[in-house]
Structure 1
Amino acid sequence: MSIDADGRAFHLDPRDPTFFADPYPAYAALHAQAPVAFWHEAGCLTVASHPLVERILKSRDFGRVLSQDGSGRPVRGDIPDHLAHFYELENHSLLDLEAPAHTRLRALLTRSFVSRRIEALAPEITSIVEDLIDRFDPSSPVEIVSAFAEPLPVAVIAGLIGVPREDTGHLLRWSHAMVAMYQMGRTPEVEHRANDAAREFRDYLLHVIGEKRRKPTDDLLSGLIEAETDSGKLTEEELVSLVVLLLNAGHEATVHQIGNALAALARQRVPLAPLGEDDALLERTVEEALRFDTPLHLFRRFALRDVEIGDRILKRGEEVALLLAAANHDPAVFPEPARFDAGRARIPHVSFGAGVHFCIGAPLARLELKIAFRGLARRYPKIAPASPPRFRDSYHFRGVERLDVTL
C-alpha cells in the first residue's frame, strides 16, 4: 500500500494476499492519513470515515444507479451477449433500484418479510443448528465453514422462502457464481459463469413459482406471489429477481459472518462458554462481531448531483466507494477498534448499511448468529482453532474460506 504525501490518493492491490488476509492495518493507515481519498485500483473516491459513510448511505444526493428511465430502474446501455441473463435479473434487483421502483418493491417485500415471520423461525433454526452440531466428529478437527457456517444459512433461507432443502447445492453454486460479479478484478470466466448461473437460477425459480401458484404454502414465496399494494403486484421478472436477491444475500453474508466471528473470537481469546447462558452477553457479542469483521467491506454509490465530501467535490455521475468495514474501525468513533469488546458502548455500526437500502434481512441475520453461537457454546464451549484461518481472495466480500477447529 502506498498513500500520496498529501493524503488525496493511494494505491492498494485488493488481490494482495496480505491485504485480504487482514485489511485492517490498511484501513488504520487510511484513517490516519487519507480518510477520503482516490483509490487508483478501484477507480474512484473512497471514504473510510464512519460519520461520512453513514451520511452518504442516508443521503438522497447519492444513489445506486445514475441513469434511470423515470421509474428508478437502471439504464445500462449496451449489454454484452454473454451477460444478458445476468443483467436481466439485475435490472429488477432491489439493490440496484431507486424510488419509485425501489419504494414499491420494498413495500411488497416488507408485507411478507415481517418480524413475526422471522421470530417464528427460531425453533427451526435451532433444530438445524443442533442437527449440524450432531454431525461433528469430536475425535478429529472439524472444518467449521463447510460443516456449519455454510449449510446453516442456506437451509434457513431456503426454508423461509419455500424452496426444497435438497436443492440447496444448486442454490449455493448459482449464488457463488453470481456474487463473484461484484468483486474487484473479475475475469471473463467469472462473467460467463455468472451468466450461466443466472439463467439456470431463473429457470429453476420459474418452475417453483408455477408450483406455488397452483398450490400455495405457508412460506415467503407464496406470500410474495399474493402480496399487493395500491401499485399492484410483483411482475414475474420482479418476483424472480427478488427471490434471487433474498437467496443470495440471505446466506452469503451470514456464512461469512459466522466464520469471521468464530475466527475473531479465537484470535482475540474471547471465551465461547458464557454465550450459552447469558442472552444479554450473547446479543452484545453478536453486535460486536458484526462491527469487528463484517463480510461486506465496500459498497458503491453514484453522486446524483455535485456534492461536497470532506474537502473534495464529487461531480454528478462520479462514483464513491464506501468502506463499510473501515468505517466500523474508525478510531474517532470506536475507541481501540482492533480490540473485540462486547461491552463497548452501542454506537451503530454500518454493517447492514443505512437509509433506504438498509438490509431488510438484518433481523434474520442477527437471529441466526445468536442461535448459532448459543448452540456451539452449549455443546462445545472449548472450541479452539487447530490452525490459522484461511481467508478467501474475494474482496470486497470478506470471509473465512477454511477454519479447522478442535472441539
Structure 2
Amino acid sequence: MTDIPSFLHIDPATRRVSLNGRNPTFYGDPNRVYAALHEHCPTFYWEEQRQWFFTGYDHVNALLRDRRFGRQILHIASREELGLPEPQPHLANFDLAERHSLLEIEPPEHTRLRTLVNRAFVSRHIERLRPEIAALAERLIDGFEKDGKTELLSSFADIIPVTMIARMIGIPDDMGPQLLKWSHDYVGMYMFKRTREDELAADRSAREFADYVKTLIAERRNAPRDDLLSHMIHTEHKGQYLSEDELVSTTIVLLNAGHEATVHQIGNSVSVILESGLPPAEMFRDEAVTERTVEETLRICAPVHIFQRWALEDVEVDGVFLKRGDKVSLILAAANLDPDKFAEPLVFNPERQEAPNLSFGAGIHFCIGAPLARLELNTVLPILFRRLPGLRMVETPRVKDVYHFHGLERLDLAW
C-alpha cells in the first residue's frame, strides 16, 4: 500500500483530489504523490486546477495521439461559444509570439511548419553534432576541473543546450545568457506559480525576443547562411513560404524547447545517478548501457510533467464525460511511474528494459527536439562522470518552484 501524504486529499468515490501545487513537499518529490494517485485514483479531477487529469500510461499514451483532442480549440469554436475570456491586453506580445507556435497549432498549419523544420532534427542529421557537443563539454570541464568543485547548472548544464540550439538556428554563442533570460521569462507563463509579475515579464521578453529574431530574419533574407533560420526563410512547402510571424514563433519555440527541458534534465540526471549509489562507470560502460541509463533518468525525473489538450468534440475517456471545449491534463511524469508498466516504478534502475518513457510526448506533437536532447544527454553525461570520477553532491539539492516543470535550483558538486 502506498501511503497518502498528509497534504494530498483523495476521494476515490468521486475521483476528486485536492492538492496545493505550490507545496514544496509536493513539487520537491512529486513521484510520491503520483504513486499514491496510481493506487487510489489514476484519473482524477484536481479541485484547485478545475480540470481532469490522467496519469495511467495507456490513457496518457492514447490521449497524446487521439485526434479528438488537440492543442488548439479556437479553429473550430468561438470564445463566446466556449465561454472563454477575451485575450488580455498585457499579454499581447506573448500571444502574438504563441499564435503560430508548433506547440499550439493543429493541422494543416502544424503540418506545414513542422515539415519545414523536421529535417534538421531527425536523428541522422543530429548525430553529426556529437563531436561538437563533446568538445563543448570537455572545454567547460577544463574550466572548473582544477577547482575541485562547481555549481553544475551555471557552469555546465545551462550552457550546452542553449549553445547547441542557437548554433543550429544561426545565433551567436555570446547571445546564450540573453536567450536564457528571455526563455526563463517566457516559460514562466506555464508554471503553477504564475503571477501578474510573471505575466508582465513574459510579455516583455516575448517582445524583445521577437524583435531580436526579426533582425536576424532581415539579415538572413539578404545574406543566407548554412543554418536553420536561413532554411526556414528560403524553403517553400507546396508553394508557400513562412510569414514573418510564423518565422518568429517557430524560432522562439525551437530555442525554448531546444534547451529549457535539457538544462533541467542534465541536473536531474546527475542528481538521481549520484543519489542511487550505483557506480557511474558501470552505467556508462558502453553506448547501449548509456542509452538505457539516460532513458531511465528521463523516466524517473522527467523535466516536463504535464501536457494539456482541448476536447475537440464530446468524448468519454475512462468513464469521464468531456464536452467540446473542455481542457484536460496528461501527467507524463506520472505515466512513467505506472506500476502496470514498470516494476518497482519509484526505483532508479538503469538496467530497466520495459515500456518507453513518455517524457517527450507522443503523436503529432511529439517533441521535435527529442533527438537533440537525447544526443546531448548521451554525450555529456559519460564525459562528466569520466572526467570527474570522484563526483559527489555537497548537499541535497532543492527543487525549483517551477512546477509543472521539474528542475533543481542549483547542484553543488565536489570531487
Q: Return the TM-score normalized by structure 2.
A: 0.94
Q: Which residue of 1 aligns with 2:277?
A: 269
Q: RMSD of the TM alignment (CA)?
A: 1.6
Q: Which residue of 2 aligns with 1:60?
A: 67
Contact 1:138 1:406 in 2 (8 A): no
Q: Which residue of 2 aligns with 1:93?
A: 101
Report whether the alignment pairs 1:44 with 2:75.
Answer: no
Residue 226 of structure 2 aligns to a residue in which SS? coil
Contact 2:101 2:249 in 1 (8 A): yes
Counterpart amino acid of 1:33? H
1:349-391 Cα distance to aligned partner (Å, 9 max, x none): 1101001101111110100001111211221122111100111
Residue 337 of structure 1 aligns to a residue in which SS? coil
CA–CA separation in structure 2 for the residues paired with 1:231 and 1:296: 36
Bigger mean CA deviation after superposition, 299-308 or 107-116: 107-116
Q: Which residue of 1 aligns with 2:389?
A: 381
What pairs up with 1:7-406 in 2 under 5 angstroms? 8-68=15-75, 78-406=86-414
Kindly state the Cα deviation for residue 347 of structure 1 after the two structures are TM-superposed. Answer: 1.1
Contact 2:193 2:401 in 1 (8 A): no
Kindly state the Cα deviation for residue 218 of structure 1 after the two structures are TM-superposed. Answer: 1.4
1:186-241 Cα distance to aligned partner (Å, 9 max, x none): 11100100000000001101111111122222111111112211151111110110
Counterpart amino acid of 1:280? A
CA–CA separation in structure 1 for the residues paired with 2:85 and 2:237: 31
CA–CA separation in structure 2 for the residues paired with 1:243 and 1:393: 27
Kindly state the Cα deviation for residue 41 of structure 1 after the two structures are TM-superposed. Answer: 1.5
CA–CA separation in structure 1 for the residues paired with 2:142 and 2:120: 32
Contact 1:24 1:326 in 2 (8 A): yes
Counterpart amino acid of 1:10? V
Kindly state the Cα deviation for residue 104 of structure 1 after the two structures are TM-superposed. Answer: 1.0
Residue 192 of structure 1 aligns to a residue in which SS? helix
1:70-101 Cα distance to aligned partner (Å, 9 max, x none): 9xxxx986322211000001111011101111
CA–CA separation in structure 1 for the residues paired with 2:365 and 2:104: 10
Counterpart amino acid of 2:212? Y
CA–CA separation in structure 1 for the residues paired with 2:86 and 2:318: 35
**Alignment size in residue pairs:** 403
Which 5+ residue runs of structure 1 have no aligned equivalent? none
CA–CA separation in structure 2 for the residues paired with 1:336 and 1:68: 43
CA–CA separation in structure 2 for the residues paired with 1:11 and 1:307: 25
CA–CA separation in structure 2 for the residues paired with 1:312 and 1:119: 43
Counterpart amino acid of 2:70? G
Residue 94 of structure 1 aligns to a residue in which SS? coil
Stretches of 4+ moved more than 6 A in 1? none
Contact 1:142 1:405 in 2 (8 A): yes
Counterpart amino acid of 1:35? P
Contact 1:53 1:327 in 2 (8 A): yes
Counterpart amino acid of 2:66? S
Contact 2:12 2:41 in 1 (8 A): no
| Cα distance change on mapping 1:7 and 1:292 into 2, 3 Å | farther
1:296-351 Cα distance to aligned partner (Å, 9 max, x none): 11111111112121122122211111011000001111110111112112411110
Contact 2:121 2:372 in 1 (8 A): no
Which 5+ residue runs of structure 2 have no aligned equivalent? 1-7
CA–CA separation in structure 2 for the residues paired with 1:381 and 1:55: 42
Bigger mean CA deviation after superposition, 381-390 or 273-282: 273-282
Residue 268 of structure 2 aligns to a residue in which SS? helix
Residue 335 of structure 1 aligns to a residue in which SS? coil
| Cα distance change on mapping 1:247 and 1:185 into 2, 3 Å | same
Kindly state the Cα deviation for residue 179 of structure 1 after the two structures are TM-superposed. Answer: 0.3
Kindly state the Cα deviation for residue 139 of structure 1 after the two structures are TM-superposed. Answer: 3.9
CA–CA separation in structure 2 for the residues paired with 1:320 and 1:156: 33
Contact 2:45 2:52 in 1 (8 A): yes
Bigger mean CA deviation after superposition, 273-282 or 299-308: 273-282
Contact 1:275 1:377 in 2 (8 A): no
Kindly state the Cα deviation for residue 5 of structure 1 after the two structures are TM-superposed. Answer: 4.5
Bigger mean CA deviation after superposition, 45-54 or 312-321: 312-321
CA–CA separation in structure 2 for the residues paired with 1:375 and 1:140: 16
Residue 199 of structure 1 aligns to a residue in which SS? helix
Bigger mean CA deviation after superposition, 102-111 or 35-44: 102-111
State the identity %: 48
Q: Which residue of 1 aligns with 2:3?
A: none
Q: Return the TM-score normalized by structure 1.
A: 0.96
